[in-house]
Structure 1
Amino acid sequence: MDRYAVFGHPIAHSKSPLIHSWFAEQTGQSLSYEAILAPQDGFAESWAEFVRTGGRGGNVTVPFKEQAFALAGQLSARAKQAGAVNTLYIDSAGVLCGDNTDGLGLVADLQRLAAPLINASVLVLGAGGAARGVVGPLLDSGVSKVHIANRTASKAEQIAALFQHHVSASGYGNIPHEPWHLVINATSSGLSAERPPLDEAHLAATQLAYDMLYGKEPTAFLAWCAEHQIVCADGLGMLVGQAAEAFAIWRGVKPQVEPVLKRLRQELGL
């Protein structure tokens, strides 16, 4: 039986084994998928041991995405744009390949939600790895403009500089006053019950507010947007969507996201 795994530290909270077991069940694929707690300074060794014992591919989460990027012998264009890898696999020539499916997962979820994408203006809050990984796929989906806002403007500007056209950046106090059809929170502010310091004036044209985090209760960002009568969505669909993209890379078959997402929400009581 082909073996797959997700690597992280911590990792016990990961829903990936559940998600991929349901994908395998849905598509009739025979495989195993486990969660592996790798030492913070020992990801490469953990991956090597996994491959030595039959591992075929894996997902990578915090804090190992940059280490996986460095380890891969071949990188997809998406991984290069993101500067991080969340999906690893060994190709037919025995080369370790790295990809990043986070942005694809986000776009797939936005499409599932019928979010405005074609010719849309998108405001992305935050300038960490989560933001960097989604700008390229958003542009590929037909978005006309992406603006990245961050507390430290220079970090946002560094990401914008990676893209030749249609991407701008600023601090939160200098966001252009123009219609933002979609606002995406790519910060971890929800973990501390806070929200980015976004002025409500920027929500005037917003059709969907999206937070990459998810939980039993809406994040502070989504709760604030809901107060302004904005349609809101959390990041659970992105989680399942990026997993579906990884599964397709490994197995050559794309699972259906909606049944698994519904099942996962029930499992988590969301």
Structure 2
Amino acid sequence: MNELYAVVGNPISHSKSPRIHSLFAAQTGEPVEYTAIQAPLDGFAETVREFFAKGGKGLNVTVPFKEQAWQLADRRSERAEKAGAANTLYQDSQGRLVADNTDGAGLVTDLKVNAGITLAGRRVLVLGAGGAVRGVLGPLLAEQPGELVIANRTVAKAQGLASLFRDEAGPAELRACGFGAVNGAFDVIINGTSASLQGDLPPLPATVITPATVVYDMMYAAGDTPFNEWARAQGAGKVLDGLGMLVQQAAESFRIWRGVEPQTVPVIEELRNH
């Protein structure tokens, strides 16, 4: 008997999660059946309760319900607690709803393992201060970069995040500023703003990029994202999009639910080429 898992969002038809988890299931032989559920905007909690009441085993949560998933949980992992959002739900042996957030782990694994990028001691620039960025700051800081700068259009939001994660920065210098105040070149630049998909690029000085800079857009598109196109034009050494992060965060959810670590590289290649 297959066990039931799903991704919940609104809209959801574009989600690659069912395909990713089906590929994981085929590869590992785990009895996983994974579907997509579009929850009404005002009916997320009800959708979750119903899913587990019918014997569902685990849920991924995507836009716009990640904060609600966090609030709904009886228990949260440490990384979900700090992220203020959850993308992974399951029930523990007592039937309590547990929330986790695998986004940051997904990003860091994609950078380190798949792309071979070192974050330790590096100068890292993170663009944006919304939920996507809040979800990845903890795992990024755990890599002990030399400096991490959060840049955002609204400086106060970036400053809020910097103070929230100050105690996790360790020896790293953690700073916040507006886009215009970013200075010097960076080793790694991570774009966590979604506006760039509409072609609305953060107004950054071109000097942030050198031929040694790795640029990572947490969004992904069929070709280069507008932000990655810009970075390439400035001569960035390596340009990556968020497809690997998507697959890695899914793999981390799969591991939490099933206790099995799927191989991600063949799945990333499969999605990239089809």
State TM-score, norm by structure 1: 0.96
Instruction: Provide the secondary structure at the position in 2 that maps to 1:55.
Output: coil
Superposed, which structure 2 residues align to 1:219-258 within 5 Å?
Answer: 219-230=225-236, 231-258=238-265
CA distance in 2 between partners of 1:123 and 1:102 (Å): 18
CA distance in 2 between partners of 1:119 and 1:248 (Å): 29
Superposed, which structure 2 residues align to 1:41-80 within 5 Å?
Answer: 41-80=42-81
**1:208 and 2:214 matched:** yes
Q: What stretches of structure 1 of length at least 5 have no aligned partner?
A: none
CA distance in 1 between partners of 2:242 and 2:165 (Å): 25
Superposed, which structure 2 residues align to 1:46-125 within 5 Å?
Answer: 46-111=47-112, 112-125=114-127
Counterpart residue type for residue 210 of structure 2? A
Partner of 1:18: 19
**1:152 and 2:144 matched:** no
The answer to whether the 8 A contact 2:196-2:202 is kept is: no
Deviation at 1:95, TM superposition (A): 1.2
CA distance in 2 between partners of 1:210 and 1:163 (Å): 21
**1:262 and 2:274 matched:** no
The answer to whether the 8 A contact 2:210-2:235 is kept is: no
Superposition CA RMSD, Å: 1.2
Instruction: Provide the secondary structure at the position in 1 that maps to 2:164.
Output: coil
Pick from 156, 160, 163: which aligns with 1:161?
163
Deviation at 1:205, TM superposition (A): 6.9
Q: How many residues align?
A: 266
Instruction: Provide the secondary structure at the position in 1 that maps to 2:79.
Output: helix
Partner of 1:37: 38
Q: Deviations over 1:164-215 (max 9, x none)?
A: 233210111112x344110010001232122111111111375200101111
The answer to whether the 8 A contact 1:100-1:133 is kept is: yes
Deviation at 1:11, TM superposition (A): 0.2
State TM-score, norm by structure 2: 0.94
CA distance in 2 between partners of 1:201 and 1:184 (Å): 15
Q: Runs in 1 of length 4+ with deviation above 3 angstroms? A: none
CA distance in 1 between partners of 2:211 and 2:140 (Å): 18
Partner of 1:199: 205
Q: What stretches of structure 2 of length at least 5 have no aligned partner?
A: none
Deviation at 1:228, TM superposition (A): 1.9
Name which of structure 1's ranges 241-250 and 73-82 shifts more when overlaid on structure 2: 73-82
CA distance in 2 between partners of 1:93 and 1:145 (Å): 42
Identity among equivalent positions (%) equals 52
